[in-house]
Amino acid sequence: MQPSMFNLRVPLEAGDEVFLMNTLTDAQLVVSTDVAALLDRAAKGEFVGTAMSSPPDDSERQAWDVLRENGFLVENRASDRRALDDAWATGSSESSIAFDRNGSCSRSSAESRCSICR
């Protein structure tokens, strides 16, 4: 498992929290820095080829599952790219919206525009 290439991370001024967003799934979470550290560990390859490299404690397993279920952790880059291709093909994701050079939504009618452009 590894972090999705569509993840954004913003440390919050409040201290020990991080805002996470996956731009493909549109998942948004506010998590502790410990949970964000799971993504860092995955990026370093600690979990490659296994569900987890060692038995985690319950809270770490729960955090891992939430990150995986919301698209923050993926099997590999190929699966991340397939998810993007699927979203484009089905139009099932707000991430599938194209913008022109001026930043306007490419969808012509107001009814078919995404929630951002309405």
pLDDT confidence of residue 1: 81
For every residue of the chain, which 3-state class applies, written as one string?
A: CEECCCEEEEECCCCCEEEEEECCCCEEEEEEHHHHHHHHHHHCCCCCCCCCCCCCCHHHHHHHHHHHHCCCEECCHHHHHHHHHHHHHHCCCHHHCCECCCCCECCCCHHHCCCCCC
pLDDT confidence of residue 82: 86
pLDDT confidence of residue 28: 94
pLDDT confidence of residue 17: 93
What is the C-alpha end-to-end distance of the chain, expressed in Å?
Answer: 37
Cα gap 65→51, rounded to integer Å? 10
pLDDT confidence of residue 52: 56
Return per-residue pLDDT of the chain as tens, 118 residues. 889 999 999 999 878 899 999 998 889 999 999 889 889 988 888 766 655 554 467 778 888 889 989 999 988 888 888 888 887 777 654 444 554 544 455 555 445 545 555 4
pLDDT confidence of residue 54: 46
Single-letter code of the amino acid located at 78? A
